[in-house]
């Protein structure tokens, strides 16, 4: 199969990120090295910078805007500039660290290359940091941040002191990153393993999980077959002494686990799964080959949360956590930002309206979340403000999107959040196309722009007992805050 990617998404991808330490079987030596992070204000990049700094590296970075994360990095002694023209690079520079979305023409990449500094992607550096540690990689199309956060919370609560990097903010575990006081082969490093740009092929996990596999990132993958092949390559990176946990009900399970060295176990809701999840009236019971091993009260609604929590529980057990501590920790998990997060309630004549925000931006996530909200909250009406994320995703998955809003009574669609796509892709599909398809499915849908117009519409149409959910990976959360009277 052709794995070539568009030239403008390739950023030094053939560069061997081992110059700092050519031996990939040994821990990466960062002490005294000068690292600069482009987009350091992101959850993952900021955590990686802190981890490198803890290992003695001199870390600096740039970002587009001020944020709480940028402020905290500065408080930690990491200089952050808001100028990405290339002038903010430090005089001494060993390594420029970028995200997969940064293009070769970015001014800081151009300047670093001119100086002869090495340029590596976020996943390349993070993967190398797993070497010499107990690496745990959480992969899958959906649920990575939630599962990583729950696992990190369990290990903290059971005294196992993990290091982790999460792609979302979870207040309960201290934000989106943590560096363990442990050093050496006993240190656990947990990270999300994203299939975008085949980033997870850079990881060296001891333990890995594959939550689910579906068609996504079709701007980089030509088909689901290519995606499955990418997951198979990831699974092969788990060593024979490690473990792989995979979704039992996945139609691609056998193809993904073909030819791997590690022993794979399955987790799911079917009786045939090695680890079976049972959910009844919000109570979850986990079985291992018909033997009950752990129970908890589901702290968040939905079978999908119970499944993610079960994956985290099994992985925590493999890392040495006791079952009684695992169950208590899962039950006490308070959630993370933008995952069915309750923003508040707005009082209106005759009652109130509940406002929830969620990161869901893939058809399966939307359908699952709306069903969970309907079942758990039982609203009079469910009003969904959905911001499509990427024109290419919207175009490729249009028919799936059209059938994923069946639980919503009203759907409001703002402009598509533009990120990474070409101008040609941008012209190929609009929010109006999605609204038209939703109406054909019998869904009451409308396209409104800008955000202020959507807030005004919500003020006109919401009734006592309604639930408003803002959904999407962009900045749609601003609508919920504005409706509640915030910024």
- pLDDT value of residue 302: 82
Average predicted confidence (pLDDT) for the chain: 88
| Domain 341-483: assigned CATH number | 3.90.190.20
SS3 43: helix
Residue 237 has pLDDT above 80, yes or no: yes
Q: Within 13 Å of residue 3, how many CA atoms lie on the same side as its CB?
A: 12
| Domains in the chain: boundaries | 7-14+27-121, 132-331, 341-483
Residue 209, token pair as written in the block: 């999980």
pLDDT in tens, 252-278: 999 999 999 999 999 999 999 999 999
Neighbours of 141 (CB within 10 A): 20
Residue 27, token pair as written in the block: 């821990």
SS3 23: coil
How many angstroms separate the CA atoms of 189 and 50, rounded? 13
How many angstroms separate the CA atoms of 77 and 100, rounded? 26
- pLDDT value of residue 107: 94
Residue 388 has pLDDT above 50, yes or no: yes
The arithmetic mean of pLDDT across residues 376-403, rounded, is 88
Residue 219 has pLDDT above 80, yes or no: no
Query: pLDDT band at residue 487, thresholds of 50, 70 and 90?
Result: very low
SS3 412: strand
Give the distance from CA 68 to its chain's centroid.
20
């702290």: which residue's tokens?
A: 299
pTM value is 0.80
Residue 333 has pLDDT above 80, yes or no: yes
pLDDT in tens, 279-308: 998 899 999 998 999 999 999 888 889 999
How many angstroms separate the CA atoms of 192 and 344, rounded? 29
Neighbours of 81 (CB within 10 A): 17
- pLDDT value of residue 14: 39
SS3 352: strand
For residues 92 and 68, the answer to whether their CB atoms sit within 8 Å is: no
State the CATH class of domain 7-14+27-121.
Answer: alpha beta
Region class of 322: left (phi > 0), else alpha (psi between -120 and 50), else beta = beta
Give me the architecture of the 132-331 domain, per CATH. 3-Layer(aba) Sandwich (3.40)
pLDDT in tens, 473-486: 888 999 999 999 85
How many angstroms separate the CA atoms of 445 and 432, rounded? 10
Please list, in sequence order, all residues whose beta carbon lies within 8 angstroms of the beta carbon of residue 114, skipping any fewer than 6 positions away: none
Neighbours of 222 (CB within 10 A): 11
One DSSP character per residue, 207-237 reads: EEEE-------TTT-SSHHHHHHHHHHHHHT
pLDDT in tens, 118-130: 999 999 999 999 9
How many angstroms separate the CA atoms of 225 and 213, rounded? 11
For residues 430 and 403, the answer to whether their CB atoms sit within 8 Å is: no
For residues 267 and 249, the answer to whether their CB atoms sit within 8 Å is: no
């Amino acid at each position: 199969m052709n794995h070539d990617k568009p030239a403008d998404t390739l950023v030094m991808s053939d560069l061997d990120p081992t110059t700092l330490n050519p031996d990939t079987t040994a821990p990466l030596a960062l002490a005294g090295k000068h690292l600069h992070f482009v987009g350091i204000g992101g959850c993952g990049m900021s955590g990686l910078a802190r981890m490198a700094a803890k290992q003695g590296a001199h870390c600096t970075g740039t970002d587009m805007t001020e944020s709480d994360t940028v402020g905290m990095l500065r408080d930690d002694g990491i200089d952050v500039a808001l100028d990405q023209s290339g002038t903010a690079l430090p005089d001494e520079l060993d390594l420029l660290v970028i995200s997969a979305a940064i293009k070769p023409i970015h001014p800081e990449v151009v300047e670093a290359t001119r100086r002869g500094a090495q340029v590596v992607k976020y996943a390349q550096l993070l993967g190398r940091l797993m070497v010499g540690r107990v690496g745990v990689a959480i992969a899958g199309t959906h649920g990575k941040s939630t599962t990583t956060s729950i696992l990190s919370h369990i290990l903290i609560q059971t005294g196992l002191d993990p290091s982790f990097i999460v792609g979302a903010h979870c207040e309960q575990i201290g934000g989106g990153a943590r560096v363990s006081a442990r050093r050496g082969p006993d240190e656990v490093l947990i990270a999300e393993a994203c299939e975008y740009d085949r980033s997870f092929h850079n990881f060296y996990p001891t333990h890995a999980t594959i939550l689910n596999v579906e068609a996504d990132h079709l701007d980089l993958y030509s088909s689901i077959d290519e995606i499955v092949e990418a997951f198979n390559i990831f699974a092969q990176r788990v060593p024979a002494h490690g473990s792989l946990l995979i979704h039992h009900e996945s139609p691609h399970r056998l193809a993904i686990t073909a030819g791997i060295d590690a022993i794979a176990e399955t987790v799911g809701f079917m009786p045939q799964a090695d680890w079976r999840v049972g959910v009844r009236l919000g109570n979850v019971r986990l079985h291992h080959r018909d033997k009950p091993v752990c129970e908890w009260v589901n702290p968040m609604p939905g079978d999908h949360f119970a499944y993610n929590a079960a994956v985290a529980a099994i992985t925590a057990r493999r890392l040495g956590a006791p079952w009684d501590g695992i169950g208590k920790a899962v039950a006490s998990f308070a959630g993370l930002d933008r995952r069915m997060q309750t923003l508040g309630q707005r009082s209106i004549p005759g009652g109130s309206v509940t406002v929830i925000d969620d990161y869901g931006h893939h058809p399966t996530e939307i359908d699952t979340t709306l069903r969970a909200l309907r079942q758990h909250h039982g609203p009079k009406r469910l009003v969904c403000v959905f911001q499509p994320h990427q024109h290419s995703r919207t175009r490729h998955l249009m028919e799936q999107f059209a059938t994923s809003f069946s639980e919503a009574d009203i759907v409001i669609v703002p402009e598509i959040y533009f990120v990474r796509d070409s101008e040609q892709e941008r012209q190929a599909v609009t929010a109006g196309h999605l609204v038209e398809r939703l109406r054909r499915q019998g869904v009451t849908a409308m396209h409104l722009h800008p955000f202020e117009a959507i807030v005004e519409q919500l003020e006109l149409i919401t009734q006592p007992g309604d639930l408003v959910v803002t959904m999407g990976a962009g900045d749609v959360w601003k609508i919920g805050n504005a409706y509640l009277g915030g910024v």
